[in-house]
């Protein structure tokens, strides 16, 4: 890197040759190198042509990296060498060695979420020790049929492990979960017997507990709501029983709906990534570049490359809280089919029906289930819910968050109907069928 500028004799010739290469490419950059007698440093001066100056120095960024030959004028650290517009630098060889060494240690950091040379390795190192292998014995009428393998992550020093429900539950043979036992192996080789606290088959999230007399590693929980398509993420786990496996990719979609995947039942949203995951990765963490858990890997599309899905950690955390508190998840049910509205959908609906209410945001109710709490409350197809429990709403996700686990408690809902008629309804949610 920068040490090419500070070398002597043959080093200076190499630097000059390098800058001459710039001159050829830029069509007019001239260079000269000089050394002061008795000095402890070399000095290089470069004069750039206007086209190259415009290429290298944008108003918002005066740092340059990424030439074909190993030349870097800056490091993203706070003590970085910045190249000013005169491109005139004098650098001590000793300082250059320190700078290069510091750059290798810091992994070319450029801020939270920025991808540097060591970003993925650092993220994996932060979360890796807390990633565990989970083994569950399978049997049928007392006959041992083998073991299933999966992954999980220790999220606190008490030994709470967040994993996938299908890792510890046979969906085909079980509809409810008794507090069974699983085998847990840490990255450092320690083995524990884990107790199943609870599993929720709808969200595919489960919680396991282990007890240890010695300290346990744990991973930090992040926030999936901050993710954007294109963000770098790292998938960790034990695919095909290969412990300590790390793959990386980007977030492809932050709100892939379960209906998009042909999954019925309760509405869910997933993070879609292009990280490589395989059998055994289920339950393992999806982490950001800060080493924080942002999702729980649960499935992939067969015969497709780079199409995998994870439960957002924000949703997984709420499920975990239910499981730790009650051993199961309580979900309120209204009996409404709902649709998010945006400007384009609203305009299209108004073109089809001029009586469609004037709204800027809200949630459309295209269908009401007969005999449901919503029907008893007076909901009608075509209603637009604009307020729930005293709070304005503009998405199904907001309604779900407002309802929480309010079962049997009355909720006031304001809806707007055809020709802008307002109605205030009171609905009492029931608990959703746990086996549906």
User: Residue 64 contacts by C-beta under 8 Å, 6 or more apart in sequence?
Assistant: 56, 72, 73, 74, 83
Rounded Cα–Cα distance for residues 191 and 137 (Å): 15
Q: Tell me what the pLDDT averaged over the chain comes to.
A: 77
DSSP secondary-structure letter at 407? -
CA 383 to CA 229: how far, in whole Å? 33
How far apart are the C-alpha atoms of 361 and 383, rounded to whole Å?
A: 13
Shared domain for 21 and 87, answered yes or no, is yes
**Which has the closest alpha carbon to 1: 88, 91, 61?**
91
> Quick one: tokens of 185?
């192996």
What CATH number is attached to the domain comprising 286?
Answer: 2.40.10.10
Q: Which residues contact 62 (CB under 8 A, 6 or more apart)?
A: 82, 83, 84, 85
Q: 58: which DSSP letter?
A: B
Question: Who contacts 342 (Cβ-Cβ below 8 Å, separation ≥6)?
Answer: none
Q: 414 versus 330: which is more confidently predicted?
A: 414
The dihedral of CA 365, 367, 371, 376: what is its sign?
A: positive
Extract long-range pairs of 248-255: CB within 8 Å, 24+ residues apart.
Answer: 248/120, 248/275, 249/273, 249/274, 249/275, 249/276, 249/306, 250/274, 251/227, 252/306, 252/307, 253/229, 254/224, 254/227, 254/228, 254/229, 254/312
Q: How far apart (Å, rounded) are the C-alpha atoms in residues 399 and 333?
A: 12
Count of Cβ atoms closer than 10 Å to residue 305 Cβ: 9
Q: What share of the chain has pLDDT > 70, as a percent?
A: 69
- Ramachandran region, residue 126 (left: φ > 0; alpha: ψ -120 to 50; beta: rest): alpha
Evaluate whether residue 114 is within a structural domain: no
Is 166 inside any structural domain?
Answer: no
Which residue has better confidence, 375 or 436? Answer: 375
pLDDT band at 136 (very low <50, low <70, confident <90, very high): confident
Q: How many CB atoms lie within 10 A of CB 233?
A: 25
* Domain match, 33 and 90 both: yes
- Let me know if residue 221 belongs to a domain: no
- Shared domain check, 304 and 341: no
Residue 379: helix, strand or coil by DSSP? coil
Question: For residue 95, what are the contacts with CB-CB under 8 A and spacing of at least 6?
Answer: none
Q: Under a CB-based contact definition with an 8 Å cutoff, are residues 129 and 188 in contact?
A: yes
Active site residues: 166, 204, 282
Residue 2 DSSP symbol: T
- Say whether both 348 and 307 belong to one domain: no
User: What Å distances lie between residue 65 and 97, 115, 144, 407, CA to CA?
Assistant: 18, 14, 59, 58
Tell me the three state secondary structure of residue 8.
coil
pLDDT of residue 197: 92
User: If you average pLDDT over residues 426-433, what whole number do you get?
Assistant: 90
* Residue 285 in domain: yes
* Whether 299 and 365 share a structural domain: no
Are 15 and 67 part of one and the same domain? Answer: yes
Task: Tell me the pLDDT band of 432, cut-offs 50, 70 and 90.
Answer: confident
Whether the CB-CB separation of 249 and 141 falls below 8 Å is answered with no
pLDDT at residue 306, as a whole number: 87
Q: Are residues 32 and 72 in the same domain?
A: yes
Distance CA 164, CA 316 (A): 10
Length of the chain: 436
> How confident is residue 317, by pLDDT bands cut at 50, 70 and 90?
very high
Better pLDDT: 48 or 369? 369
Is residue 82 domain-shared with residue 20, that is, in the same domain?
yes
Question: What one-character-per-residue DSSP string does 59-76 give?
Answer: TTB------SSS--S--S
Residues 222/113, Cβ–Cβ less than 8 Å: no
363 CB burial (10 A radius; 0-12, 13-18, 19+): buried
The answer to whether residue 343 is domain-embedded is yes
Domain final residue pick, 55, 72, 106: 106
Q: How far apart are CA 411 and CA 400, in angstroms?
A: 12
158 has pLDDT over 70: yes
Q: Based on the domain organization, do 286 and 354 belong to the same domain?
A: no
Q: How many domains does the chain have?
A: 3
CATH number for position 402: 2.30.42.10
Of 88, 106, 124, the domain-final residue: 106
Instruction: Confirm whether 39 is domain-assigned.
Output: yes
Give the pLDDT of residue 181. 87
My answer on whether 21 and 101 are in the same domain is yes
Q: 């304001």: which residue's tokens?
A: 414
Provide the pLDDT for residue 57: 42
In a 13 Å sphere around the CA of 388, the CA atoms on its Cβ side amount to 23
In a domain, 34, yes or no: yes
The answer to whether position 115 is within a domain reads no
Compute CA 366 distance to the chain's CA centroid, rounded to the nearest angstrom: 32
Domain of 393, in residue numbers: 332-431
* Separation in Å, CA 411 to CA 48, 76, 333, 370, 393: 69, 53, 12, 19, 14
Residues 281 and 349 in one domain: no
For position 435, what pLDDT does the model report? 52
Sheet with 30-34: list strands edge to edge: 30-34, 42-47, 88-91
Q: What is the pTM of this model?
A: 0.67
């Amino acid at each position: 890197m920068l040490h090419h500028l500070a070398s002597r004799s043959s080093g200076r010739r190499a630097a000059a040759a390098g800058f001459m290469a710039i001159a050829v490419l830029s069509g007019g950059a001239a260079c000269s190198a000089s050394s002061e007698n008795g000095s402890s440093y070399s000095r290089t001066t470069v004069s750039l042509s206007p086209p190259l100056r415009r290429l290298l120095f944008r108003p918002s960024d005066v740092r340059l990296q990424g030439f074909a030959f190993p030349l870097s004028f800056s490091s993203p650290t706070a003590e970085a060498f910045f190249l000013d517009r005169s491109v005139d630098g004098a650098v001590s060889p000793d300082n250059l060695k320190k700078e290069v060494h510091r750059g290798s240690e810091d992994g070319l950091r450029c801020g939270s979420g920025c991808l540097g040379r060591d970003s993925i390795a650092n993220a994996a190192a932060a979360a890796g020790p807390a990633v565990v292998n989970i083994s569950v014995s399978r049997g049928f009428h007392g006959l041992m049929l083998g073991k299933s393998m999966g992954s999980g992550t220790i999220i606190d020093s008490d030994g709470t492990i967040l994993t996938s429900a299908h890792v510890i539950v046979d969906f085909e043979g079980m509809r409810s979960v008794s507090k069974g036992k699983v085998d847990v192996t840490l990255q450092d080789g320690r083995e524990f017997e884990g107790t199943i606290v609870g599993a929720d088959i709808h969200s595919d999230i489960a919680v396991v507990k282990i007890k240890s007399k010695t300290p346990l590693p744990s991973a930090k929980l992040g926030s999936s709501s901050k993710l954007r398509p294109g963000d770098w993420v790292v998938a960790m786990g034990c695919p095909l029983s290969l412990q300590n496996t790390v793959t990386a990719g980007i977030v492809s979609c932050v709100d892939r709906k379960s209906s998009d995947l042909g999954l019925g039942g309760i509405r869910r949203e997933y993070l879609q990534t292009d990280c490589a995951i395989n059998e055994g990765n289920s339950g393992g963490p999806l982490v950001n570049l800060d080493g924080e858990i942002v999702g729980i890997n649960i499935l992939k599309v067969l015969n497709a490359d780079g199409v995998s899905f994870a439960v957002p950690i924000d949703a997984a955390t709420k499920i975990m809280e239910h499981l730790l508190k009650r051993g199961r998840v309580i979900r309120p049910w209204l009996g409404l089919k709902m649709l998010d509205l945006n400007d384009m959908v609203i305009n299209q609906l108004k073109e089809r029906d001029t009586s469609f209410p004037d709204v800027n945001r809200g949630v459309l109710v295209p269908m009401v289930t007969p005999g449901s709490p919503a029907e008893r409350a007076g909901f009608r197809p075509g209603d637009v819910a604009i307020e729930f429990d005293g709070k304005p709403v503009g998405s199904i996700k907001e309604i779900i968050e407002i309802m929480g686990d309010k079962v049997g408690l009355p909720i006031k809902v304001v809806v707007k109907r055809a020709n802008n008629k307002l109605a205030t309804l009171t609905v009492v949610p029931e608990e959703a069928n746990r086996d549906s």
